[in-house]
Amino acid sequence: MYTTWATFWFVLPFVLTYPLQLVLSRRPQWHRHLHTLNRTWSRLSIFMWGVPVKTVRASPLPVQQPYVYVANHSSYIDILLLFRTIPGWLNIMGKSSLAKVPAWGPIFGSAYITVDRDSAVSRGRAMVQARRTLEAGRSVVIFPEGRIGKQPGQLLDEFKDGAFQLAIAAGVPVVPITMPLNHRFMPDVPGGLRVRYSPLAIIVHEPIATTGLTAADAPRIKQRAYDVIASALQPEAGGVPEPSIWRQPARQRMPA
């Protein structure tokens, strides 16, 4: 029952705004408005899902300052929660297969960065796009694990270097983000879509400065971001939740 409810309130806003999204996706100068529409869609969907969302910000981050946001990846709703939480006109790096999703995929592919992580050419092209985004004063969101983790909510997969090399080359701060509970709401499980009523949380940590650093410092910055993100995970809330129904949450606690 709850899966049906959540799916309905994810799909309905997209269907109603699809013609406008399609038009806005066709010209780069309109992509700012497309992102605003996507943020509204994300906020509306999460609101209608009826789940409490705890947002923790370690410090205010000026919208005018571009950042490289790096977040753990545990669920297909990660992008929605990031769009809902991070202010400003963002660019986000997603896997190339997202651009192949019917209807929505071409829109995502035109407005955001897509990358085939098995292709060195695609990875290089994506980093060039990300660098241009930062130079234009926009922030970029990257999942340094590269895919949904093998043990979401419990352990992070190894981080790739690209996000940290990018931040150092562009001279912008790295902002770690932890989303410890998304996998409880929509776990990545075989056999189709599965949604369970579960609280959500997002922690935006202190930025990590990169001013004056060189490429040789990337491993150190990567490890620091890894440790910060991992510190806010909730291992006791890891794994796939038991089935639940509307307003009957799976067992876990919200972050303190």
Burial of 221 (0-12, 13-18, 19+ CB in 10 A): buried
| pLDDT single digits (tens) 130-179 | 999 999 999 999 999 999 988 888 899 999 999 999 999 999 999 999 99
Residue 254 pLDDT more than 80?
A: no
CATH class of the 51-237 domain in this structure: alpha beta
| pLDDT single digits (tens) 7-20 | 999 999 999 999 99
What is the pTM assigned to this prediction?
0.90
- Distances in Å between the alpha carbon of 95 and those of 73, 75, 112, 114, 136? 12, 13, 10, 5, 23
Mean pLDDT for 41-57 is 97
For the chain, give every domain's residue range.
Answer: 51-237
